[in-house]
Structure 1
Amino acid sequence: PKMLNYSYGVIHSHIEKMELPVCIGQDIYGNPVSWDFADLETLLISGEIGAGKSSLMRVILTTWVKYTSPEELRLVLVDLKRADLGLFHGIDHVDALCFEAKDMRKPFALLRAEMYRRGDLLLEHGVTHISRLPFKLPRIVVVIDEMSIVKRETDLVEMIQQFASQGRALGVHTIIAMQRPDADLLNSALKANLRVRISGRQADAINAKVAGVIGAEEIDAAARGRMKIKIDEVKEFQAFFLDGGACKELLSPYKTLVKDPEPELEVVSQSIFGLLEKEEQR
């Protein structure tokens, strides 16, 4: 199909047994393209303007908000394009929403400290993954939209690389989105830790190779929402479409506070850490 509108009711039967489900479209045989982000915990999304990256991000995050409780999932969102993630302002699951590089340092430092704390918990209890702890900790997902904007902020890039490389056992997951894949940012170490890669159309084979999705340059430029995904092999699919207005309507029941139309530059709470302490005390 050339267009697939997002419907949570339609995809729910495909995801109900997953912990952190991703269901993003259909392949050429009409099968759902889905996986459990709790198992494949890092994702790179890239592609030219109009490829459907923004809609794809809305689909993934909206599904999580509807499927999980704030006690199960915490979100750290970075929207350096100031384009789409502001829709999630005021959602209980969101611990930080940053629009500039300087605003990322506080929540990232808190998150890194939380990773160290979780590592200590694994050692204390003699286990290798948070799922084996005697108490439940929420999953934490860091989303960075247009990472190329922080390319010169080496401290931030190093922390993002740390989240992607060390977060697996700690329940910390990473989504990186960028329009044009950057070979300097996507070095071999970082790319190796981005286990799922999705690309819309790329300008040429070189960009497709950097994005880690061979053949993305062959996608028809007129086919909006047509993408390729690489997990074990490269597969073409049509992504669900979810525009900003429909997304806002779906999210409205999950917003606890009425916010101004223009969100603040930084919204940081201690929710991740407060919730974790409560769970640990139980």
Structure 2
Amino acid sequence: MFEKLKLRGQLIKAFRTAEIYRVIKRGDRTSYQFPKIHRIDHHHTYTRYAFSLVNGIDPELLNKKRWALRQVLGSNIEINGSLKNFSITVHHKSLPKMLTYTYDSIYSYIEKMELPVCIGQDIYGNPVSWDFADLETLLISGEIGAGKSSLMRVILTTWVKYTSPKELRLVLVDLKRADLGLFYGIEHVDALCFEAKDMRKPFALLRAEMYRRGDLLLEHGVTHISRLPFKLPRIVVVVDEMSIAKRETDLVEMIQQFASQGRALGVHTIIAMQRPDADLLNSALKANLRVRISGRQADAINAKVAGVLGAEEIDAAARGRMKIKIDDVKEFQAYFLDEEACKEMLSPYKTRVKDPEPQLEVVPQPLFGLLEKEEQR
């Protein structure tokens, strides 16, 4: 009982320090109304406070004054909730400084998934994982050095090793010309584009494939490709540094179409960008990005645009430290996979042995079994 009272007093002190209260004046008297504390759960690994804001307190203060809350409660805190009801979790453990990716170490976590993503560990050593067949869109953002490239290698390498080319097809767009070339020659890859102009053909073919799949759903009277009497491969579109294609409005519209309409059709989307762009990440697109991962952001504005509040507070010196938002925001340590280790893992899956020539823009390969021209609708 005494411990709970002590913790309650500490939370009130944090609210006072952060000026999260409502000021009430009656004549010459001034009083302060703090958020209402509903519950305190104290464990050896964490303490969680559940509370609600009284009317008149701006919910944005919790994030704006996060630094002040950390000064009192501790540096490793998570804030979750919306409008009035919130929780603050104070972790008493620390994340590991580095985790090296190996496929064998994650297999037990993913073996029952269809399209598994396993990218790191949370503060309690639990895997950060989900089935991309269920949560089919992902935004990855963060400053240079945040670990986006390694994260992409981890996701794609896992898929290449876990799935067959009959189960998964990949359309890769690497507008930075920096990372996805490692996957040249992998049988799963239908297109590898390095310039915006070369995205049009594979994107048009993919859109035609979406129309074809939509017709199949209607023909068989089902609402998802998983309910068809035959199996179709999942298709994942990966666009690295989408902001470079910002002026190509037709391409941006197609990416938005893939993200918004692809779920039932087995078409999935990963968008990566260094600095989140509010114009590109408009409300329509953000609403369809069901998972968001961010490395360190330059400021709270960028973190808000990325949809991962608190990402600006990630320790810049902690390599691979990220935050993920599926339902709540959670900090985790991402697995690290360097280029040489990635090449070695991918080598058994290469159907072409040479690296792409510098002038190569698109890997010429049949896409999704369609004709060269987009079907006329």
- Give the TM-score of the pair, scaled to structure 2: 0.72
Q: 1:145 aligns with which of 240, 250, 253?
A: 240
DSSP-derived class of the 2:372 partner: helix
Which structure has greater helix proportion?
A: 1
Q: Could you list the runs of 5+ residues in structure 2 that have no partner in the other structure? A: 1-95
Post-superposition offset of 1:258: 1.5
Post-superposition offset of 1:262: 3.4
Post-superposition offset of 1:273: 2.5
Q: Could you list the runs of 5+ residues in structure 1 that have no partner in the other structure? A: none
Does the CA contact (< 8 Å) of 1:42 and 1:164 recur in 2?
A: yes
Q: Which has the higher contact order (CA 8 A, sep 6+)?
A: 1
Does the CA contact (< 8 Å) of 1:103 and 1:265 recur in 2?
A: no
Partners of 2:133 and 2:340 in 1: CA distance: 29
Partners of 1:263 and 1:135 in 2: CA distance: 40
Post-superposition offset of 1:259: 1.8
User: Residues 110 and 246 from structure 1, CA distance in 2 versus in 1: closer, same or farther, beyond 3 angstroms?
Assistant: same
Does the CA contact (< 8 Å) of 1:77 and 1:98 recur in 2?
A: yes
DSSP-derived class of the 1:228 partner: strand
DSSP-derived class of the 2:368 partner: helix
Q: Mean Cα displacement is larger for which, 96-105 or 271-280?
A: 271-280
Structure showing greater radius of gyration is 2
DSSP-derived class of the 1:181 partner: coil
Does the CA contact (< 8 Å) of 2:205 and 2:370 recur in 1?
A: no
Corresponding pairs, count? 282
Partners of 1:262 and 1:272 in 2: CA distance: 21
Which structure has greater strand proportion?
A: 2
User: Residues 24 and 125 from structure 1, CA distance in 2 versus in 1: closer, same or farther, beyond 3 angstroms?
Assistant: same
Partners of 1:153 and 1:29 in 2: CA distance: 43
Partners of 1:261 and 1:108 in 2: CA distance: 21
Percent identical residues: 92
Partners of 1:20 and 1:144 in 2: CA distance: 18
Partners of 1:272 and 1:32 in 2: CA distance: 34
1:125-152 deviation line (CA, Å, top 9, x unaligned): 0000000000000000000000000000
Partners of 1:154 and 1:261 in 2: CA distance: 28
Q: Mean Cα displacement is larger for which, 266-275 or 171-180?
A: 266-275
Post-superposition offset of 1:243: 0.5
Does the CA contact (< 8 Å) of 2:147 and 2:319 recur in 1?
A: yes
DSSP-derived class of the 1:198 partner: strand
Q: 2:217 aligns with which of 99, 113, 122?
A: 122
Does the CA contact (< 8 Å) of 2:191 and 2:367 recur in 1?
A: no
Q: What residue is the counterpart of 1:242 in the other structure?
A: 337
- Give the TM-score of the pair, scaled to structure 1: 0.96
Does the CA contact (< 8 Å) of 2:323 and 2:332 recur in 1?
A: yes
Runs of 4+ residues deviating >2 angstroms: 260-282
User: Residues 93 and 279 from structure 1, CA distance in 2 versus in 1: closer, same or farther, beyond 3 angstroms?
Assistant: farther
Does the CA contact (< 8 Å) of 1:86 and 1:263 recur in 2?
A: no
RMSD: 3.1
User: Residues 29 and 76 from structure 1, CA distance in 2 versus in 1: closer, same or farther, beyond 3 angstroms?
Assistant: same
Q: Mean Cα displacement is larger for which, 266-275 or 227-236?
A: 266-275
Post-superposition offset of 1:260: 3.4
